[in-house]
Structure 1
Amino acid sequence: MMELVATSIGDPGDCLMMPMPCYGGVFWDVGGRAEIEVVPVHLTSKMEEGDTRPFQLTAKKIEDTYNKARAEGKKIVGILLINPHNPLGDIYSAELIMDILNFCHKHSLHVIMDEIYMMSIFDTEAKYTSVLSLPNIPDPQRVHMVWGFAKDFCMSGMRCGVLYSVNEAVNKAVDALVYFNMIPGPIQHILTEIVLDKEWLDKVFIPTKYSRMREARSYMCDKLSALGIPVRKSPSGLYIWADFRKYIQPLTPENELVLFEKFMDAGVYLTPGIEAFNCGEPGYFRMVFTVYRDHLEVGMERIAAVLKDCAENGLTKPQGANAEASANVKEESLEDLLGLLQGRISSSGWLEETRTQNWATQNPVALEQFKQAMKSQEGSGDK
């Protein structure tokens, strides 16, 4: 949906501002077929005047980025915001949103507000403001809200996006383009049945989801605290923004990837900040906690083992790691990350070592548990 809106409001070579670190897929969403450039509004751990916390977005930072880009000859057509934020988990206040809307109105800029995590706010005391709920929006013709089922309904991969805009030209353009992105009928039927069952959503699904999110996040935060890993206090999201800088010495982008590789070799996936989210400084990882509890426990045990090894032996590259790929840090974060993973598979013994036969031999207890689970599933299917 972001691609369709971006294509509708800009031309190839135009630019959209976006706070960073942020969801790295946006480079493909707006930069692929639409060929629109992303101009980062860099947020850092170093607090500036007026900030109350690290990585804080302010209207001034947006204005400074806009002025710098214009001075470089770039044509800015708008800003893309994710609220609640990915990966920081922040919620933008109504005051901040209005400040941004007023700035954009002053410069005739579009605002794409991605609210895909709007129902993933587990903190009961947090106050969330949708852009659609604001009175007296200064330029409603240039404000476009997008949302999707994937995150809030725990259905990643079930592609179905929503656009709300009062701009007739944008709606007509998206309507023409969406012909090539239509939602299959069976998926439409499934999602319709879900949203029509309002009683189940309000009394069962949403309360259960929030309760499980709070429990899982608390567990992960406690384990990270015991390891000396600071985490960002945030009220929303399916993930935690964690600070691993104490284990990355010297603190460089290259060594962030070394730690990433060590986690991968230990069988746990943590998303590195620079490579995946265009973070302006090394040492931060996004950790998803919305998984089964037993998976979470095993993952935290593996993380603890990796960090223990780093503390005792230093940050050394894991055996078989692709040194050339890990040392080559470029701007195209997601592309580089995929290249790194492909390099590890093709240039090491990783694929051979993780064949089914080898895994079964090395993990007899897990294999037996898997067999029992499969038998249980078969029994359920017969009933």
Structure 2
Amino acid sequence: FDRDLCWRTEARLLPVVCHSSNNFKVTRKALEEAYAKAVEANISVKGLLLTNPSNPLGTILDRDTLREAMSFINEKNIHLICDEIYAATVFRQPDFISIAEIIEEDQEYNRNLVHIIYSLSKDMGFPGFRVGIVYSYNDAVVECGRKMSSFGLVSSQTQYLIASMLSDDQFIGKFLLESAGRLATRHNDFTDGLRQVGIKCLNGNAGLFLWMDLRGLLIDSTVEAETALWQMIINDVKLNVSPGSSFHCSEPGWFRVCIANMNEETTKVALARIREFVLRNGNKPNRKEKCGQSDLRLRLSFRRIDDVLRSPCIMSPHSPIPQSPLVRTRT
């Protein structure tokens, strides 16, 4: 969201701090604490932004959480923007629940505050078509969007193709069923492979990625140590993962791994590289865990963290290090 919402508008994102102790669930307490900090800093909060299913967690927001979110935004009289771009990537229970369903449960909810965004990029694998949707209950927002759409119209040819495809209920049903099956298989294969070398992942059920726990590989629990580890994975393992700090994660050591954009052979290569990387640093798979965390530790004594941070590499678009001229530019 930093790139999508902030680079041009200079809007400010304030993270709602969630914790691994409850699987990063969004709680009312976390919402209230984030809001209170904003008020204390004299920041006017305009809305709450949620992704459901979650990116990068790969989990869904349950009905109770969505109800709490609706209650919260109504009480604060702020907007709720719900990004449901991964709605059809759920590959096992529990099922996806749209915020639109929650609104129907209680007529007291202020619908003018709720806006849903969606795209065909993820569920249907059409990122190049640039087809997005804004579904709002607020007439003013819809009218504004209608006028702004003139600057980014979808071509007639694309509209015809998409309309024809979406009208074929049989094809859509088969496609989504096959997609869910493949996502489940890939998710299981990847998490099983990581588990063999003592690496755990958040128990997800949706999305095109998984949330990998590498806290046991950090020399200390800091963003600097996480960034150093990320740079080593880029340079040594030759895998492009996204560090948790680029998603405002409060706990260093979590990484997002995209698993749906590679074939079976590439998946095996990726897992083999991770295994070799862990074992090469003097670790043994399936070690006993102490205090709920892996006993894995990287041996970074041969290289100072500052040297790692300054080493040249191809930066991830989610990189927390603003070296790209696109990040630095103000015009």
TM-score (structure 2 length as normaliser): 0.84
Would you say the 8 A contact 2:232–2:308 is kept in 1? Answer: no
Mapping of residues 61-140 of structure 1, within 5 Å: 61-123=30-92, 125-134=93-102, 135=104, 136=106, 138-140=109-111
* Alignment match, 1:227: 197
* Alignment match, 2:239: 268
Q: Distance in 1 between matches of 2:232 and 2:161?
A: 40
* Alignment match, 1:293: 264
Q: Would the alpha carbon gap of residues 317 and 298 (structure 1) be closer, same or farther in structure 2, given more than 3 Å must change? A: farther
Aligned AA (1:254): E
Aligned AA (1:247): L
Q: Would the alpha carbon gap of residues 341 and 175 (structure 1) be closer, same or farther in structure 2, given more than 3 Å must change? A: closer
Would you say the 8 A contact 1:77–1:110 is kept in 2? Answer: yes
Query: Deviation at 1:143?
Result: 0.4
Q: Secondary structure at the match of 2:89?
A: coil
Q: Is it true that 1:182 corresponds to 2:157 in the alignment?
A: no
Aligned AA (2:26): L
Structure 1 residues not aligned, in runs of 5+:
1-25, 48-52, 328-332, 343-383
Structure 2 residues not aligned, in runs of 5+:
284-297, 327-331
Mapping of residues 340-351 of structure 1, within 5 Å: none
Q: Is it true that 1:41 corresponds to 2:16 in the alignment?
A: yes
TM-score (structure 1 length as normaliser): 0.73
Aligned AA (2:271): M
Deviations 1:73-117 (A, max 9, x none): 111111010000001112111221111111211111100011000
Greater radius of gyration (CA) = 1
Would you say the 8 A contact 2:243–2:319 is kept in 1? Answer: no
Number of residue pairs matched by the alignment: 302
Would you say the 8 A contact 1:78–1:111 is kept in 2? Answer: yes
Mapping of residues 1-383 of structure 1, within 5 Å: 26-45=1-20, 47=21, 53-123=22-92, 125-134=93-102, 135=104, 136=106, 138-202=109-173, 204-265=174-235, 266-274=237-245, 276-290=246-260, 291-311=262-282, 314-315=299-300, 323-325=308-310, 334=318, 336-337=320-321, 339=323
Q: Would the alpha carbon gap of residues 241 and 293 (structure 1) be closer, same or farther in structure 2, given more than 3 Å must change? A: same
* Alignment match, 2:287: none
Considering only aligned residues, what root-mean-square deviation do their CA atoms show, in Å? 2.5
Sequence identity, in percent?
Answer: 25
Q: Distance in 2 between matches of 1:74 and 1:341?
A: 29
Query: Deviation at 1:169?
Result: 0.8
Would you say the 8 A contact 1:310–1:316 is kept in 2? Answer: no
Would you say the 8 A contact 2:87–2:123 is kept in 1? Answer: yes
Would you say the 8 A contact 2:18–2:24 is kept in 1? Answer: yes
Please state which structure has a larger fraction of its residues in helix: 1
Q: Would the alpha carbon gap of residues 337 and 294 (structure 1) be closer, same or farther in structure 2, given more than 3 Å must change? A: farther
